[in-house]
Amino acid sequence: MASASTSKYNSHSLENESIKRTSRDGVNRDLTEAVPRLPGETLITDKEVIYICPFNGPIKGRVYITNYRLYLRSLETDSSLILDVPLGVISRIEKMGGATSRGENSYGLDITCKDMRNLRFALKQEGHSRRDMFEILTRYAFPLAHSLPLFAFLNEEKFNVDGWTVYNPVEEYRRQGLPNHHWRITFINKCYELCDTYPALLVVPYRASDDDLRRVATFRSRNRIPVLSWIHPENKTVIVRCSQPLVGMSGKRNKDDEKYLDVIRETNKQISKLTIYDARPSVNAVANKATGGGYESDDAYHNAELFFLDIHNIHVMRESLKKVKDIVYPNVEESHWLSSLESTHWLEHIKQPNPVEQRYMELLALRDEYIKRLEELQLANSAKLSDPPTSPSSPSQMMPHVQTHF
């Protein structure tokens, strides 16, 4: 986004403190250069352009392209505009105008970003300036399509913490009390051979063998078998995720899959039926049968209840969001605002009642009740202790992860 003020930097003990500084975000900035650069970031080219600002009109500036970002600095004395756009934010680059274009600032590039911004740069028609900038931007904004590495593998920043060890799935499952006599940890997907979109470590019912999992995987889209995502610390209710069953038009059944879901149900004796939430509209689920997919029918899964959440697919959501962008950026047409907003259907998508969200709210209410009971128990016990300060000062100290991650 455009910034009207310059950032303040902390001093850094380099050879020339007056020239080089390190910002709070860890970016080494050489104040003799016009563009800040990360370690491993290299300047590819720079060009003088006219930035067509949607709010302030044309602004003369110089754009710098590195292997990580597009950086624009205003050259006008009455403007301190700066644009800092990581190349990964760019979704499309298009040429604007042609060789015969005569209108003012009608020749250049249109850049569409994933964060709803549209950047338009006007360039001179002579000297192939647009062609060069277009080719360089296309090459580095979409590196994999041009046999180039992602900048993440060129970044030479040093961190105090090894990112690969920040999250330890075994420790996280142990925190949740897993494995237990109902659930076990399996390494069947260690090399991502079972499912390439699932993590290497999975939690599955204790009674299900790895051979059972392989048979179930053949009946689930992309081999995404039902696996545990979360378990309630008290009543042991679980949230399990999976993909659609491969029922098809013929209504195929898989005894291994049916048995597997029944085993999941039996891990909690307090429930008589599984509740299955299908995020799709029911019409889409039925239509998916034509391509080999489908949903869990009552005939095959006797001990389960199926609810459709009527959430449209990503393509519908993306198109709806694009329409929202078109009516708010760069300008809002107030005279037709309500009708324009209604035509996007965005509010319809986000206001739908969601039974999953309702269940989560019920769980939050249970959590609050749990904390309240702990507080009452703490007060009762403290009254009996000769040295009350030795007891915990708050139940949140007993459940820090619940307070911050629930």
Mean of per-residue pLDDT scores for the chain: 82
Q: How many residues does the chain have?
A: 406
List pLDDT tens digits, range 56-114: 899 999 999 999 999 999 998 887 889 999 999 999 999 998 877 777 888 999 999 99
Residue 314, annotated ligand binder? yes
List pLDDT tens digits, range 350-359: 876 565 666 6
Which is higher by pLDDT, 177 or 361? 177
Domain locations in the chain?
20-153, 163-308, 314-351, 367-405
Residue 354, annotated ligand binder? no
- Residue 306 pLDDT: 93
pLDDT category of residue 35 using cuts at 50, 70 and 90: confident
* Distance, CA of 343 to CA of 120 (rounded, Å): 27
Number of H helices, E strands in the chain: 11, 15
Would you say domain 20-153 falls under CATH 2.30.29.30?
A: yes
- Residue 398 pLDDT: 41
* Distance, CA of 377 to CA of 233 (rounded, Å): 18
Which is higher by pLDDT, 125 or 345? 345
Residue that the structure tokens 């990112």 belong to: 163
Helix (H, G, I), strand (E, B) or coil at 20: strand
Structure tokens at 185: 């940890």
pLDDT category of residue 384 using cuts at 50, 70 and 90: very low
List pLDDT tens digits, range 210-261: 999 999 999 999 999 999 998 888 888 888 999 999 999 999 999 999 999 9
Q: What is the DSSP string of 296-332?
A: --TTT-TTEEEEE--PPPHHHHHHHHHHHHHHHSS--
* Percentage, residues of the chain above pLDDT 90: 54
Task: Report whether pLDDT(163) > 80.
Answer: yes
Strands (E), 3-149: 20-22, 28-30, 43-53, 57-66, 69-74, 82-86, 90-96, 108-113, 118-122
Structure tokens at 260: 């597997």
For residue 392, say if its preceding peptide bond is cis, omega within 30 degrees of 0.
no
